[in-house]
Structure 1
């Protein structure tokens, strides 16, 4: 702690001086006057307490807000080990100075009586603050002593101080005492002054200059007053009305610059009307505080923001929800994201109760001053919840564990049955700046490098140990002890008991539609073009010979994925199709997947999952054919393994596309059916807790928006996978826009995996779609149709990669080869240009290959 120029000792006559004294630093209050003085002290003021000999509970002064306490040697003995040394100032006589060497590790300040500045300086205790009680009451002597005694501080009873501009024969001017040690090396004698905002956690407002005259007036009036280098004394807000209440004045460590902390009123500090400060607008928490204050006053009735401020239960549930999500966050990005959400709702609570960030900081500072602290354990109801002593959760139904097409396992249990409303957060796009709009486009970030490091040993083991390593890991991870990981055709047709007829018929319909659509994508004949007479160029398609398709399995049953990958491989004409899927503990695979494998002409079933299956297909084993390209979804282990092998030149294998959590973006206008919209959002939310669900609402009425949100809650709670849907919806968002053009612009920036159009003219809107994995047009085109049986493929780019990648299609399993046929006459026309370009590049052999032919033709 640095010592102030002087330390006012409050006496009963000093209450009128407190507003000005509180601006300049701490005041010293005798213990006997604390109860009387504290109510009159400004809320921002800091203070020390001078203990009386009879004070029984010295620690209570510190607990209640005193920064430091002045004590006697005998009191120091009582407090030793109980109070941090930075909180203690020892009051001693000059004759006791010799004992200080043994006490310097227990105190942070010395209060000397009947001493001089010279004596204090001669102590040589650089880490100890020196407070000197000046023996002379003469104001002129006091002023001279303050000028010469820095860094010591003189203790001056308030009966010798005044709020006048000048020192008199009887009283020392507060302003002059403060200014006495301040110096400047500027030729104009002014002091650089930083003005900071007390409203916003001392954020800087601007840089100005002060003079002794302006500082004096500022202290005496408690207003922002500065010195203009052109116009003289500048009383901030005198003409504009944007006045400043002065909260504090401080010097820097060299006493040659000042900082004014102010409460800014009116239009703000900067002369540029669009800026909050001379350094630009506020950001972070300061900006959020201003925004929330504005919305508290101006948010329309019925809006979500208004509800946040007026619905105590809603705000309470959001704070508890976001606190839990912060506790569950793992990565740095997740922690930052969830903390930001918690700060938002916590600050909304503060603003609704008239509490500012500055008030919160004051409370933090006050808490930091406490010496006595409680144990700090959690309250019983939270300890019970965290330690697992809360009532056992209801068992989830079987369907919740084995629902269709999961992309992650159901959590084994949840702490309690959550009956709270399932809601998406709302944002209005037009109110967000560019940075905030960018954040809406972000997806959860997978730490790819960390996952790749985890899968490397698994892939490497398969590469080195082959089938033996693959069998060992299948036993370890899938609990299946296999004699062979490979199943070869002919595959046995499942019995009706294993595969009910209605399920078989549904698979047949899906297979037929997907095959029809993908056959239509096939190129029927080569592309041939005569670029000039005698020069014919062509492009023709050939299948990728050996492909691997990964179908997640285990407890999941995913015939749809087998169809979506097996059909285009079959249509493309791939000679080797390896279907990898995790086996059941008994070594079998699901009859649904087995049936699809037979339909699609799979040549090898690899009964293995995870990174080990990817490694086996990438490098091959004695039993498992090596493939040239790997397709299919999977968890983060599968994804990381695919990324690893595609970058290994020894593997020489490609992959379909980068993968991430499933996502849907729904655009809805006034014609949308709330039931349909909610069902589309939830059909994606049930995939996994990391699923991305976005609704872009075009100028919807509040009643229609409320009905959609109500349907989300009703339909979600009827789902067996409600626990997963709830977690996904928490992270989801409704983006409010004014026009269809804005909605489609946002969608194209987001580049969703699935785009659903609930629009009056949905077909026309497709013309404006630039980036999407697959588009579902109109009210009766749910995403589910594309996922299973309409004919389009459901293996689509996520994470915004729809900007660069197509979904899986027939051409994904093929490659193009080009050819050219040049006749003799054609070479005569084309050859000279080729020769000239080759010569220009310095590749004489290229040029010569043409020259020798031209020479032959010219014989």
Structure 2
């Protein structure tokens, strides 16, 4: 909410543009103004008893007007037609309490007209219109005092001040200075009274942190230039000596009214004194691309490719169409991102050639988002492969369909339900199926990547890291000791990692057996089995923009406990070539001998074959996307690589068994904690004789909690294809679960601990109401790298023994051989392996001679 809203009534360009820098303005449509305000920052006031014009209001909003303020007679006609968040109703304060619920619920705000300011009455009306924005316009003629503005701010209301009562000069008895009004609610907790100020580019990317004073804010609002307060040198007019000036687009207060944000257009070398765009880092992503293209547009050398694109519009048009086609044909997330990046490059080249900036594009997007009338959205005839007819939403897909084909539904977020007692054998088998993983197709896609790293080593690895991870580096490997500055963490995060490390290490140390197994199978024949660590292991930790220290812990700790001599940790770098400090800290804790800054199939290939800088490993562990999984499967089957892998991998999955004692909120939360991983996540609830009311309560919790979570769009898709299986008994529930073999099995059952004995197939089991799967994912001590896709029938989750191999030995005395030897000779002769038999006979004959 703005500190105040100015009502534009007369021609005053300098005042108008100063007001434009600090927030929206109100324009009375009955008064023409020669200053066309950017539509997204405009409220239109309809204060006339004229005929209702629904189409006119829709046209204004389609043009990007923020909200329309209409009299009550208009509101009654517009509610239900115009979105409530775009409507404000104009009321006389004396009649506000007579407004019906349908009116109050059909608008997002109320503008109260009053001759006198009565804060108690306004506060009371605000409570009546709970959830709506409250605006006040006084017709009494005098402007409010600064204390009045602060009081309005305190009760959550906004005062509308006519521009005839505002000035850029000092506050007087008749006029209020714009800056004085704007900063009225700001507080500073600094002894010098300055306000922390975040300076951002026009697209919201941070440039640096400075300080502002009342004087500097006034100067910025009035002049439209970036002016700040230096703590050492006083008033600081940015770029006054360097030429790197700023045009101020907008100045905003934060939610606590104790700091400011300046949105600016930065000119010259950049904001930072190091001649960089930002004090925090070099530009990256789209801002870097825009900066580069602008530079090339101004000074690209003749003959360069970018110069050709700027000069040859036919070539540029062809490239845009080519890249759009390749994006349309891309299927995997990696391909889509790669092709979209190419398309953005050529599209922004077209924009730059026509003087269009990213800010212009964002403004166009914002304007489109504000449209309330929509076109059909069908493709033009030359692009439509076939006529598009409206149809019913497609049926739920079977197991063979891709998860990405499922359209999100606008309705409640619900699971599918099947009663196991009413399903056929074929239907039951279908319920147990996961989506088909097209391993051969993916392996064919990753093979060129793997071959490139195998044949060209580090050179290929650097090229592929730049291409896929968008990080250009001179080396992809770092070795200990790791620089302390790469591990600077929030203290709470460090403490949490330390607790998780201790718990996970304690559990995995208990799995280690230092004593060899010794068995005397018969007198004089002693057989032994002893463990040795796998010497060199590779740990793949998904990353890039994500931060996954938990996976680094789950893989690194058992490797450390097992005693592996070399631990190579591979993780995708961030665009600046760095690794997240959380993962770096864990790498140091587990004693990683090298860190490979690469992701995807190229990282797997580098660890499998080794390069000049990347140590070759003997076994590769860790989860990843389908590219990583396919690469692991490919190198495992290559005898030249001589490398094994931990297990096949698929989408995350959970199966929850719940009876009448289950808490609906707990069950829903457990289902959603897995469903949020991705749209292909597998989520199953097995309900044991639950009543309709109990099952409905769980479904309502799923919908309520999902809509409150940040990944609701993913949840809407993954939950829609998830299952509720109804069974009568606990035994039936475990029979289905054991057939399904889930990665995670959660037991919301009475006497849950006594039911664990019924588990035959599962990656990890979570017992009882207060054992959420999240604890196993992070810090309880068990490992979260688990078999998926039904492989829990054959595989264990990662554990200490996964990082060891077991060697057997035997020692036989002469007495022992005299008893065992004839048995071996008989079996060797039976198989026709005379040399085997001979190796025993020569010893038996020698023993016989010695005894004579």
Q: Deviations over 1:523-552 (max 9, x none)?
A: 120000000000000000000001000000
1:833 matched to which residue of 2? 823
1:463 matched to which residue of 2? 454
Task: Give the CA RMSD over aligned residues.
Answer: 2.4
Distance 1:385 1:791 in 2: 53
Distance 1:415 1:584 in 2: 31
Distance 2:329 2:576 in 1: 35
Distance 2:378 2:793 in 1: 44
Shift in Å at residue 856 of structure 1? 1.3
Distance 1:329 1:746 in 2: 37
Q: Deviations over 1:127-148 (max 9, x none)?
A: xxxxxxxxxxxxxxxxxxxxxx
Q: Deviations over 1:94-126 (max 9, x none)?
A: xxxxxxxxxxxxxxxxxxxxxxxxxxxxxxxxx
Distance 1:465 1:425 in 2: 50
2:787 matched to which residue of 1? 797
Distance 1:786 1:825, change over 3 A: same
TM-score (norm 2): 0.53
CA contact (8 A) 2:514 2:531 kept: no
1:688 aligns to what SS in structure 2? Answer: coil
1:197 matched to which residue of 2? none
Distance 1:493 1:677 in 2: 42
Shift in Å at residue 494 of structure 1? 4.6
Distance 1:790 1:713 in 2: 28
CA contact (8 A) 2:414 2:719 kept: yes
1:54 matched to which residue of 2? none
Shift in Å at residue 383 of structure 1? 4.0
Equivalences for residues 102-141 of structure 1 within 5 A: none
Distance 1:613 1:329, change over 3 A: closer
1:566 aligns to what SS in structure 2? Answer: helix
Distance 2:841 2:715 in 1: 70
Equivalences for residues 174-573 of structure 1 within 5 A: 383-384=376-377, 420-494=411-485, 498-573=488-563
1:618 aligns to what SS in structure 2? Answer: helix
1:681 aligns to what SS in structure 2? Answer: helix
1:613 matched to which residue of 2? 603
Distance 1:738 1:819, change over 3 A: same
Q: Deviations over 1:24-46 (max 9, x none)?
A: xxxxxxxxxxxxxxxxxxxxxxx
Distance 1:382 1:815, change over 3 A: farther
**Residue 715 of structure 2 corresponds to residue 722 of structure 1:** no
Give 5+ residue unaligned stretches, structure 1: 1-326, 332-379, 388-409
1:597 matched to which residue of 2? 587
Distance 2:796 2:329 in 1: 34
Q: Deviations over 1:146-193 (max 9, x none)?
A: xxxxxxxxxxxxxxxxxxxxxxxxxxxxxxxxxxxxxxxxxxxxxxxx
Distance 2:532 2:831 in 1: 33
2:178 matched to which residue of 1? none
Shift in Å at residue 419 of structure 1? 5.1
Number of equivalenced pairs: 461
1:793 aligns to what SS in structure 2? Answer: coil
**Residue 634 of structure 2 corresponds to residue 641 of structure 1:** no
Give 5+ residue unaligned stretches, structure 2: 1-327, 333-372, 381-402
**Residue 654 of structure 2 corresponds to residue 661 of structure 1:** no
1:677 aligns to what SS in structure 2? Answer: helix
CA contact (8 A) 2:439 2:630 kept: yes
Q: Deviations over 1:341-399 (max 9, x none)?
A: xxxxxxxxxxxxxxxxxxxxxxxxxxxxxxxxxxxxxxx97841779xxxxxxxxxxxx
Shift in Å at residue 330 of structure 1? 8.3
Distance 1:328 1:666 in 2: 38
2:159 matched to which residue of 1? none
Distance 2:789 2:693 in 1: 32
Distance 2:474 2:822 in 1: 66
Distance 1:451 1:528 in 2: 45
Q: Deviations over 1:402-423 (max 9, x none)?
A: xxxxxxxx99xx999x752100
1:858 aligns to what SS in structure 2? Answer: helix
CA contact (8 A) 1:582 1:607 kept: yes
Shift in Å at residue 753 of structure 1? 0.1
CA contact (8 A) 2:743 2:762 kept: yes
Distance 1:495 1:627 in 2: 25
Distance 1:842 1:807, change over 3 A: same
Shift in Å at residue 855 of structure 1? 1.3
CA contact (8 A) 1:385 1:415 kept: no
Distance 1:658 1:386, change over 3 A: farther
Shift in Å at residue 493 of structure 1? 3.1
Distance 2:661 2:330 in 1: 38
Distance 2:541 2:376 in 1: 42
CA contact (8 A) 1:697 1:736 kept: yes
Shift in Å at residue 481 of structure 1? 1.0
Distance 1:805 1:495, change over 3 A: closer
Shift in Å at residue 492 of structure 1? 2.3
Distance 1:434 1:382, change over 3 A: farther
**Residue 796 of structure 2 corresponds to residue 806 of structure 1:** yes
**Residue 679 of structure 2 corresponds to residue 689 of structure 1:** yes
Distance 1:603 1:708, change over 3 A: same
2:758 matched to which residue of 1? 768
1:821 aligns to what SS in structure 2? Answer: strand
**Residue 738 of structure 2 corresponds to residue 748 of structure 1:** yes
2:244 matched to which residue of 1? none
**Residue 626 of structure 2 corresponds to residue 624 of structure 1:** no
Distance 1:853 1:385 in 2: 88
Distance 2:830 2:489 in 1: 68
1:596 aligns to what SS in structure 2? Answer: helix
CA contact (8 A) 2:407 2:717 kept: no
1:510 aligns to what SS in structure 2? Answer: helix
2:377 aligns to what SS in structure 1? Answer: helix
CA contact (8 A) 1:494 1:595 kept: no
1:649 aligns to what SS in structure 2? Answer: coil
